Chain A
Amino acid sequence: MPISFERAFSIHDDALLLRGQRTSILASNIANADTPNYKARDIDFDAMLRSASQQQDGRVVMASTHRDHIARQSNAMQPGLMYRNPLHPSLDGNSVDSHVEQAEFSENALMFQTSFSFLNSKVTGLMKALRGE
């Protein structure tokens, strides 16, 4: 049976990458907690991971409904950014709730470490198989 990295890592490498990108989005929200008119953003992680893991070459292709449609490829590393629905309105037009963002950030960091642990055990497993110990 050939060793395939694609199969060995399954979704964990994509998940790790997306978790890493989500930290920057949440970090931006926390950084702009006092910026007037800034709108908090986030990605739909599950949907992004699904589309990232479906694409073998790491690219997202738009669905076409007609054979003449030109396939437009977009980079899977540019997540579908959305705006967060604020829990409270604010006078300065800022939609960041820093406590929500903090909670999301720590959850995301924990999930990053989880994905990393899975990936790490896969890598050490492969190393063991290569060494034949």
Chain B
Amino acid sequence: MGLFANFNISGSAISAQSVRLNTIASNLANVETSASSEAQAYRSRQPVFQAMLGNHTRPGEVGVQMLQIVESQEAVNRRYEPGHALANEEGFVFGSNVNPVEEMANMISASRAYQNNVQVLSTSRDLLLRVLSLGS
């Protein structure tokens, strides 16, 4: 209840945002990944968040969880490189559809959200510690 619930709420958000940072890291790491077919090509992954609405939670005290990870349906980058080790019979190599600029902007957003939740946690902890000193 009350301030104690904040540890669960902000904790769940920190965990969700760190999954988001993880997927961004995978996306950025695989920008230059090549494959020999469109199906095998690396596609940008994005987590989808969902509010944790359970029966055990009180109204208004809602954490967040990851619902699923979706892959971007944008066209993958196809280039003609017959000399490439992974080129198909026609000489095409399929790169990823990761947009590094988009991922960097996404990373800033994720890290700001992460910081917000850490700040909420530390403020809640300070308030609780102050309450413990009541009467002294």
Q: Mark A9-30, 1 if CB is under 8 A from B, else 0.
A: 0000000110011011111101
Partner of B63, one of A28, A34, A78, A106: A28
Of B28-36, B72-80, B91-99, B116-124, the one touching chain A? B116-124
Chain B interface category by residue count? 35 or more
Q: Does residue B84 face the partner (Cβ distance < 8 Å to A)? A: no
Q: A30-B116, A120-B135 are in contact. Are A113 and B64 (CB under 8 A)?
A: no
Report B-chain residues with C-beta under 8 Å of the C-beta of A27: 5-6, 9-10, 117, 120, 124
Main SS of chain B's interface residues? helix
Contact in complex: A34, B120 (CB < 8 Å): no
Q: Mark B39-55, 1 if CB is under 8 A from A, else 0.
A: 00000000011110000
Bound complex: CA A99 to CA B109 (Å):
13
> B14: nearest residue on chain A (CB-CB)?
A31
Q: Mark A99-128, 1 if CB is under 8 A from B, else 0.
A: 000100110010011001001100110010
Contact in complex: B6, A23 (CB < 8 Å): yes
Main SS of chain A's interface residues? helix
Residues in chain B within 8 A of chain A (CB atoms):
1-3, 5-6, 9-10, 12-13, 16-17, 20, 48-51, 58-64, 109, 113, 116-117, 120, 123-124, 127, 130-131, 133-135
Residues in chain A within 8 A of chain B (CB atoms):
16-17, 20-21, 23-28, 30-36, 38, 41, 43, 77-79, 81, 98, 102, 105-106, 109, 112-113, 116, 119-120, 123-124, 127
